[in-house]
Amino acid sequence: MSKFIKRSDGIWDAPECCECCSDCSSCEEDCTCPLDIEGVCDNCIFKNGYKRCKECCTKPRTTNEHYRQIGYWHMCNDCISKYFNEKGSNNMKMRIKRMRENAKLPKIHNGNWADCYVSQIGCVDINALETGKEFTFDDIIWYPDGLTYAKEDVIVVKLGFALELPKGKELHLLPRSGTFRKTGLLLTNSMGIGDDTFIGDNDEYLAMFYATREGHVDIGDRLIQMKIEDSMPEIEFEEVTSFGNQNRGGYGTTGK
């Protein structure tokens, strides 16, 4: 690969940039240019919005969707290949801690989401709820063998694991599709979120439910499913007085 050189105008360039060289501007499949996307010059990187690999700091980050989805969005193709060769795996590695002996770790059965298992279950003391004040974890009564709950109970479920999320990743917790139908339980915060700072030894994932009817949950039941996603990129807001766009409207204005 050709070395990058600094031009008189201050732009770092490559003599044979794939983006701007006249010999292969059409990017045909039979293009003979010796450089692939890693050889894009800085001028084209700036123009097209490419960013540098955080590992080698010289090549643009990968545009391969598979690599980006499994957590390597911040690396170039060469560094990703090197990492796979060293690890001998195409799967993203993540450290997980089992919080108690009976805990079952998350597992993908069907689709792209992993099921989570009830490791410990408790109910907020009714006396604490009736005060109308904020309750704490000291107000939770834990049941080692499962829980039969009443309507309007607040149920807390520990999922039995802590997870060391990589930088730039976050975890989403949502009810399984049959949870409400089978149990009458509603996840109180609609969706649970864990980010890449929730990585301590005691940072166990849990879920809180509101009971719309009476029911029963056993240890080992599957109420929650999880998925790991890319975090939102850093955004700098620019305040304006007007966008200059037409108002579309909302809440039913587009019709049935």
Spatial neighbors of 251 by CB under 8 A, at least 6 apart, are none
CA distance 137 to 179: 24
In the numeric block, the tokens 């030894």 are attached to 201
* CA 214 centroid distance within chain: 34
Active site residue 195: yes
Catalytic residue among 13, 125, 195, 196: 195
Distances from the Cα of 71 to the Cα of 81, 100, 167, angstroms: 13, 28, 9
Q: Which of 1, 4, 43 is nearest to 20 (CA)?
A: 43
Count of residues in the chain: 256
- Enumerate the β-bridge partners of residue 192: 173
Q: Which of 218, 208, 207 is nearest to 144 (CA)?
A: 218
Distances from the Cα of 238 to the Cα of 49, 51, 61, 231, 249, angstroms: 19, 21, 26, 21, 23
CA 179, 183, 187 angle in degrees (round to 5)? 55
Spatial neighbors of 155 by CB under 8 A, at least 6 apart, are 121, 122, 123, 124, 147, 149, 185, 208, 209, 210, 211, 217
Residues annotated catalytic, as ranges? 195
